[in-house]
Structure 1
C-alpha cells in the first residue's frame, strides 16, 4: 500500500479490484453525471493565496466538532453496503476512524449493524445517518438504538424523497449480493434489496419505504425522540440552512449526496459560501462533503467556512484495497497533504485560515 501516494492512486487500485456491479454502484452519479464531475472541478477553480514568512514552527490540524476533539478536519461520510468492498465493511472503516481519532458516519442501509459497529470501534466518534421511513416505529427504533450504542449525532438526510436515477445501476439491475443484508433491519427490510424485476434494486427498495411527505416539522418530531444533536445532511441553499436551524438542527452538512440525486445541482464547494453566510449569526456548525480528494480541497473548504470536511468514496477505495489499513492510509494521505498545505500557505492552525486565503480563478482573469 506504500505505493499509493495519493487518494487518486487508491481510487484507481480499488476500481481495478471491485466487481463491476459494486464498482458502478459506488462510483456513479445521477443521469449524465455533470455534477459528479463538477464536485471535483469546482475545487480546481479556487486559488489558494499563501502568506510568506509568518513563522510556521508548529502545525496543528486539531479541531472540535459538536464539542468533541478530532485530530484533523477530515471525517468519513456515510456510504451504503460497505461489505461489497471488503468482508469487514463498516467495521474496518469505523476502526480506521477510531485509530485516526476522527468521525465515522454509519449509513442506515449498512451491511453491519449499529451494535456491531459500536462493539468494533467503541472509542470512535460515531454518527448515525438516518433516512426517515414511512413506518415511524422503524425510524424511532433506529434512533433509539444509535443513541443507546453511544453514537454522538444523527445525520438526517434531507435530499432523498427517493433515490436519484443512476443509470449504471439500472443497466446492471443492481442488487445486494445474496450473502449480504441490510444489517440494521430484520425480515423483508433486510433482504428485499437482493432482488429486482428490472432496473435498480435499490430504487425499488426505497419506493414504498421512504417518507416522501417529510417537511421541516418532522425534524421537530425527531428532536422529540432523541437527545442527540441533529445534522441536516444534503443542504444546497441558504434558505434551507436557515429552516434547518429554526427546526433545531445543530449542524448543516453541505452535500449533494455524492452527486447521486439530481444532476445539474451546484457542486458543494460552490454552494458552501451561501450557506455559511445564511447561518452566520446562529450557533450552528457547517460541514461539507462531495468531490474531496486532496488536502488542498479540504483547505479550500475550511477557508470558505466549513468546520469539517467528510469523504465517502475515498473511504470505500481505501477499504477495497486494504480494509482498515487502507482507510487509515487514505486518512493519513489527507493528513500529510493538509500539514504541508497549512505550512506552505502560512496558516499553522485552523484559526489562521481566513476567507481571504482563497479566491475564485475569475478574480484573476480580470487582471
Structure 2
C-alpha cells in the first residue's frame, strides 16, 4: 500500500473529503478521545501498560498542565499563503517537526507491531525512533521503513560488547541518530502494571533486538528458551553504574549523532553536551518513571538557555495536539517526540490508524500556523505565547 503525503493545506481538506466512511477504520479525529477508544479494543493489562503512569500520575498531569499554562496570541493579516512544516535537526532536513517517540513492544497492541507503525509513519512523512525493546529487529524495521529518516533509541546495556553490537547494527541498517535514554536506570513504580503483573519484556515480548544479536545469543545456554532469554536480558539491562564520563566512550564508538533523552535539569544538559552529545531531549519519560517530577515543557526554556542555540533540543512528554507542537517550538524546541496517541492509532487500525493519527496532528499543526500568522515551523518564537490569564497592557 502506497500513500501520498499531502502538502500543508491539503491535510485538513483531505480529512473532510474522506468523511467518516473513508477515514481509517473510522478512527476519531479527536485526540482526547483516542485513549478511550483504545481502552475499548485493548485488554485491561495491555491498556494499563500503554496508558499508565508512575505512582499517582502526578508527573503525567504536570506534563499536560505545563502546556495549559501557555496561550497562543495570534497575529492577523500577515499574508501567509503557504506554510512550511519542515525543520533542520542534526543537520538533516526533516519533513515535519514531529518524530515518533520510542515505545516498547508494539505487538502488545497490534500483531504487526513496529512494522505497521513504521509504515504508517512513512505514509505520513513522519520520522520514526525505534525502541530498544521492540518486537521486531533493527533490520526488519529498517526494511519496512523505506527511505525515510529513522533513529534508534539505546537503553544502554551493562555489557559493552552488546552495546557496541547494537550500535553497529543500527549503523549498518541506516539509522541516522542514536537516542540514549538516561532516565530509567531502574523501571518506575507503575501501579497499573504491578496490579496486572504485566511487563511484556518479562514474557519475552519486545526483545527482538537482543534475540537477534550475536553477542547476546553467544551468552545464552544451548537451546535457550524464553525463560533463559528473559533471565539474561534482565542481567544486562538497567545500567545503574552509568556516569557522564561513559558517554565519551559511546561517542567514540560511532559517528552517528548522539542525543541524550531524559534531561530536565539545565546542568545535566550542559554535562551531556560537554560529554560529547550532539543534542538533548527534554523528557520525563511521559510521566512513567518518577512520580512528582516537573513537567517537561516547564523545563524546556532553561535547558535551551543552558546549551545555546547551536545545540539540538527536542521536547518529549505530554505532546498531544498541533497547538502543543507549536508551543514547544515557540519555547525553544527544534522538534518534538510524539508518543501514546500514535500507539492508540496502531491499536485501533494498524498501519492506517498510525497514518490517520499523524495526518490529523499535522493537519492541526498546519491550521495553527495559518491561524497564528506564521508561514514556517522554524519561524516560531516566544513572542507567540502568553501566560494564561489576562494579557499585560502594552
Q: With the length of structure 2 as denominator, give the TM-score of the two structures.
A: 0.86
**In 2, are the aligned partners of 1:140 and 1:225 still within 8 Å (CA)?**
yes
Q: Name the CA shift for 1:130/1:173 in 2 (closer, same or farther; >3 Å).
A: same
Q: 2:54, 2:206 → 1: CA distance?
A: 24
Which residues of 2 match residues 175-324 of structure 1 at below 5 A?
175-176=199-200, 180-186=205-211, 191-192=226-227, 206=234, 209-280=237-308, 283-324=310-351
Output the CA distance in 2 between the equivalents of 1:174 and 1:194: 17
**Partner of 1:227: helix, strand, or coil?**
coil
How far apart in 2 are the matches of 1:221 and 1:152? 19
Residue 333, structure 1, aligned to residue 360, structure 2 = yes
Cα deviation, residue 291, structure 1? 1.1
1:62–1:70 CA contact under 8 A, matched in 2: yes
Q: CA deviation at 1:10?
A: 2.6
SS of the residue corresponding to residue 184 of structure 1 reads helix
Deviation at 1:366, TM superposition (A): 10
Rounded to whole Å, the distance in 1 between the matches of 2:148 and 2:280 is 21
Alignment correspondent of 1:199: none
**2:54 equivalent among 30, 37, 46:** 30
Question: Contact 2:314/2:334 (CA < 8 Å) preserved in 1?
Answer: yes
* Aligned equivalents of 1:231, 1:218: Cα separation in 2: 14
Cα displacement (A) at 1:3: 5.1
Written as runs of structure 1 = structure 2, the 5 A alignment for 1:111-122 is 111-122=135-146
**Residue 349 of structure 1 pairs with residue 376 of structure 2:** yes
Counterpart in the other structure of 1:174: 198
CA distance in 2, matches of 1:296, 1:209: 37
Contact 2:27–2:353 (CA under 8 A) maintained in structure 1: no
- Superposition deviation, residue 250 in structure 1: 1.0
Gaps of 5+ in 2: 1-24, 212-216
**2:19 match:** none
Question: 1:361 and 1:181, CA in 2 relative to 1: closer, same or farther beyond 3 A?
Answer: closer
Give 1:345 deviation, angstroms: 0.5
Aligned to 2:76: 52
Mapped to 1, the partners of 2:47 and 2:339 lie a distance apart of 14
Please say if residues 153 and 181 of structure 2, whose CA atoms lie closer than 8 Å, have aligned partners that are also in contact.
yes
Q: Secondary structure at the match of 1:249?
A: coil
SS at match of 2:153: strand
Q: Which runs of 4+ in 1 moved over 6 A?
A: 193-196
TM-score (norm 1): 0.92
Contact 2:341 2:357 in 1 (8 A): yes
CA distance in 1, matches of 2:161, 2:225: 16
* Matched-pair contact (CA < 8 Å) for 1:250–1:284: yes
- Which residue of structure 1 lines up, in the alignment, with residue 66 of structure 2? 42
> Could you report, residue by residue, the CA deviation over 1:159-197 in whole angstroms, capped at 9, with x for unpaired residues?
11111110111111114396845101125699459989x
Please, which of 125, 132, 150 is the counterpart of residue 101 of structure 1?
A: 125
Cα RMSD over matched residues?
2.3
Counterparts in 2 of 1:190 and 1:18: CA distance versus 1, 3 Å: farther
| Separation (CA, whole Å) in 2 of partners of 1:97 and 1:326 | 10
CA shift, 1:73, in A, is 0.8
Cα distance in 1 for partners of 2:127, 2:27 equals 26
DSSP 3-state at the match of 2:374: coil
Counterpart contact for 2:82–2:375, Cα < 8 Å: yes
Aligned length: 359
Separation of aligned partners in 2, 1:54 and 1:141: 52
